[in-house]
Amino acid sequence: MQVVVTKSYDESCAYVAKMFCDLVREKPDCKLGLATGGTPVPMYKKLIEACAKGEVDFSRVHTVNLDEYCGIPETHPQSYRYFMNTNLFDHINIDKANTYVAQGMGDAAANAAALEAKVREGGVADLQLLGIGNNGHIAFNEAGDTLTAEAHIEQLTESTINANARFFDSRDEVPTTAITMGMADILAAKKVVLIANGPAKADAIRGLIADGSITTHNPSTLLKLHPDVVVVIDEELAKAAGWQG
């Protein structure tokens, strides 16, 4: 695992955006694994800027997203399809037919099976973007006694519901279940980049980078099983997580 410590969150976003742009230039028909949440938003802005300047061409790129809430339609402003359209896809020259976000409405088991198929359709992701939850979750694979390998329906933890309540009018509106890629789906990507920022992530990041231990109680630690993972954090978070370098 490579840990990259930057001067600032903005620099972290620039670093990750460059990784994506370099990949798309090198392999114009690459497959990207994408993520939602507050953390990647400034990184997506940098991709939009690079595309506007003609520095990168997304016209042949395919994408698949990690997860989607159950029970809210694509048109809901907090659905992850809506998030991806408004934070990235509407502003770059990608063909939306080549983008995939799991369905949140309808038969959840069928939606999970459809996501599982998309993870490997046309090959696995060349680069998978991840954020990390305060409890160490990646995608919606929640901390607990067990984890799931394949795409599935996940019951969200109190920690995650509380963390995501900031995006909704009230906590009661936060969906309690989601469709998510499983751990094997994430680990199948050729390369993984995880970006994190802020003191709430310090414990989870400490578990991820401090030593070689792996625990389902911090799902991100399973990334230690992957041969090509880059963790991008700023100095402040590195310090809070006790990173010695």
Nearer CB in complex with ligand PGA: 30/186: 186
Nearer CB in complex with ligand PGA: 37/182: 37
> What span, in angstroms and rounded, lies between the C-alpha atoms of 10 and 15?
9
Tokens of 172: 């009661």
* Minimum distance, C-beta of residue 132 to ligand PGA, in the bound complex (Å): 5
* Minimum distance, C-beta of residue 113 to ligand PGA, in the bound complex (Å): 23
Nearer CB in complex with ligand PGA: 170/244: 170
Binding mask 7-46 toward ligand PGA (x if CB under 6 A, else -) reads: ------------------------------xxx-------
Q: 53: Cβ–Cβ under 8 A, 6 or more apart, which residues?
A: none
Tell me: does residue 219 bind ligand PGA (CB under 6 A): no
Residue in the structure block whose two tokens are 């799902």:
219
Q: Strand 2-6 vs strand 229-234: parallel, antiparallel, or unpaired? A: parallel
The question of whether 95 is a catalytic residue gets the answer no
* Minimum distance, C-beta of residue 174 to ligand PGA, in the bound complex (Å): 12
Nearer CB in complex with ligand PGA: 37/175: 37
Closest to 89 measured CA to CA, from 69, 66, 59, 127 = 59
The question of whether 67 is a catalytic residue gets the answer yes
Among 132, 174, 192, 233, binds ligand PGA (CB under 6 A): 132
Among 42, 104, 133, 207, binds ligand PGA (CB under 6 A): 133
The question of whether 142 is a catalytic residue gets the answer yes
Question: Which residues of this chain interact with ligand PGA, rule CB under 6 A?
Answer: 37-39, 131-133
